[in-house]
Structure 1
Amino acid sequence: MEKKVEILPNLEALIERGLEIVLQKIQTSIEKHNRFTIALAGGSTPKPLYEAISQQNLPWEKIHVFWGDERYVAPDHPDSNQRMARLAWLNKVPIPAENIHPMPTNSGDPAIDAAKHEAELQEFFKVPVAEVPKFDLILLGIGDDAHTASLFPHTPALSVRDRLVTVGSKDGQPRITFSVPLINQADCVMFLVAGAGKISALEQIFAEKADSQTYPARLIQPSGELWWLLDESAGEKLKSEY
């Protein structure tokens, strides 16, 4: 794993740097295998990044968009990660509809929808059941509790190693989420973290020793590159090291 940490002066600079990296990954992946696969994060921090990507002139027919997790709500619900990304980015560009791969949330049973999405991933990446697909880029954020995707502290989803997609839970509300092995198989994982509210979580995530069940983002150790882009408020306590 190649870990890179950058502390940027503010959110605007963080988004600008994030855009540079995304565009570079798009170019490299398309040159290498004629397509680019990205899994998106929810939350407020990546929204301006999606808006910035929507302003680019890109080979949209070669870009495939997935989500790392989704709240178990309808696609038009205000809390939907899919809805946010469509409004900020996907509805604004001529990307083919079949290149957008949202997590299903309509069966009434999150476990059924998680299994369905797992089958979709296996079919799309053409991997055998025992293998883990490799995304070009997975975007992640963290919560004040150090969760990432919908991998929340002390929940069963953290221990899932035999599935690509599983059911997460926050305060009793189900979510669908990529599993730890699927995230860790990525060619590149990039965390975008902003705000002073993330300082204590980052301290534990970056600590030499801490409990991964309590601070789930510690479980993210991808086989490829690991980027942490922090704004100055979030990275305050880490400045001396990076």
Structure 2
Amino acid sequence: MNKLVEVLPDQAALVQRALDVVLDKIRQAIAERGQCTIALAGGSTPKPLYEKLAVQDLPWRGIHVFWGDERYVPPDHPDSNQGMARRAWLDQVPIPTANIHPMSTDEADPAIAASQHEAELEEFFQVQPGEFPTFDIILLGIGDDGHTASLFPHTEALQVRDRLVTVGNKDGQPRLTFTAPLINHANTVVFMVAGAGKRHALGEIFAADADATTYPARLIQPQGELWWLLDQAAGEGIGG
């Protein structure tokens, strides 16, 4: 793993740096393999990044978009990660419909939906059950509690090692989420973290010794590059 930590002056600089990194990785993947696979994060921090991506001139036919986690709500619900990314970015660009791969939230049982999305990933990446595909880019954030994607502290999802997608749990509300091993197979993982409220969790995530079941973002140790992009409020006291 190649870990890179950058503390940017403010949130605008954080978003611009994330844009530079993501564009570089998209172009690199397309140059090498003819396509780029990117999994998106939800929340407010990456939304300005998506808005900037919406005005880029990119080879959209070669870009395939996924989500690292999803709240178990319909796509038109205000809390939907898919809905946010579509409004901010994907609906603004000529990306083929077939290149957008959301997590379905139609099933009564979220576990069935998780299995269905896992099967879709296996088919798209042409991997066998039990094998982990390699995403070019996975975007992540953290919560004040140290969670990432929908891997929340002291939940069963943290222990899942043999699946690509599982059911996360946030105060009794189900989520769909990539598992830690799937995230860790990525070529590039980019955390975008803003705000002083994240400072304590970051201290624990970066500590030499802390509990990953309490601070789940510690589980993310990808085989490729790990980028931590922090604004000054979040990153004060964090060494690069």
Normalised by the size of structure 2, how large is the TM-score? Answer: 0.99
Mapped to 2, the partners of 1:211 and 1:25 lie a distance apart of: 31
Aligned to 1:77: 77
Shift of 1:233: 0.3
Identity across the alignment (%): 68
In structure 2, give the amino acid aligned to 1:214. T
Aligned to 2:177: 177
Shift of 1:128: 1.1
Aligned to 1:67: 67
SS for the counterpart of 1:200 is helix
Mapped to 1, the partners of 2:163 and 2:29 lie a distance apart of: 25
Mapped to 1, the partners of 2:102 and 2:148 lie a distance apart of: 18
Please state if 1:127 is matched with 2:127. yes
Mapped to 2, the partners of 1:175 and 1:26 lie a distance apart of: 27
Mapped to 1, the partners of 2:49 and 2:3 lie a distance apart of: 21
Mapped to 2, the partners of 1:212 and 1:178 lie a distance apart of: 16
Please state if 1:141 is matched with 2:141. yes
Shift of 1:39: 0.2
Mapped to 1, the partners of 2:189 and 2:36 lie a distance apart of: 14
Please state if 1:118 is matched with 2:133. no
Mapped to 2, the partners of 1:58 and 1:46 lie a distance apart of: 19
Aligned to 2:5: 5
SS for the counterpart of 1:148 is coil
Mapped to 2, the partners of 1:164 and 1:135 lie a distance apart of: 12
Aligned to 2:107: 107
Deviations 1:150-179 (A, max 9, x none): 000000000000100000000000000000
Mapped to 2, the partners of 1:128 and 1:218 lie a distance apart of: 28
Moved over 6 A (4+): none
Mapped to 2, the partners of 1:205 and 1:237 lie a distance apart of: 13
Mapped to 2, the partners of 1:108 and 1:46 lie a distance apart of: 29
Normalised by the size of structure 1, how large is the TM-score? Answer: 0.99
Deviations 1:102-140 (A, max 9, x none): 001001110000000000000000011121000000000
Shift of 1:35: 0.1
Residue 130 of structure 2 contacts residue 163 of structure 2 at CA under 8 Å; is this kept in 1? no
Please state if 1:186 is matched with 2:192. no
Aligned to 2:38: 38
Shift of 1:237: 1.8
Residue 132 of structure 2 contacts residue 182 of structure 2 at CA under 8 Å; is this kept in 1? yes
Residue 192 of structure 2 contacts residue 229 of structure 2 at CA under 8 Å; is this kept in 1? yes
Consecutive unaligned residues of structure 1, counting only runs of 5 or more, are: none
Mapped to 1, the partners of 2:185 and 2:210 lie a distance apart of: 23
Mapped to 2, the partners of 1:233 and 1:154 lie a distance apart of: 27
Residue 152 of structure 2 contacts residue 216 of structure 2 at CA under 8 Å; is this kept in 1? yes
Mapped to 1, the partners of 2:122 and 2:51 lie a distance apart of: 29
Mapped to 2, the partners of 1:104 and 1:120 lie a distance apart of: 11
CA RMSD of aligned residues (A): 0.4
Aligned residues, how many?
Answer: 240
Aligned to 1:150: 150
In structure 2, give the amino acid aligned to 1:162. D
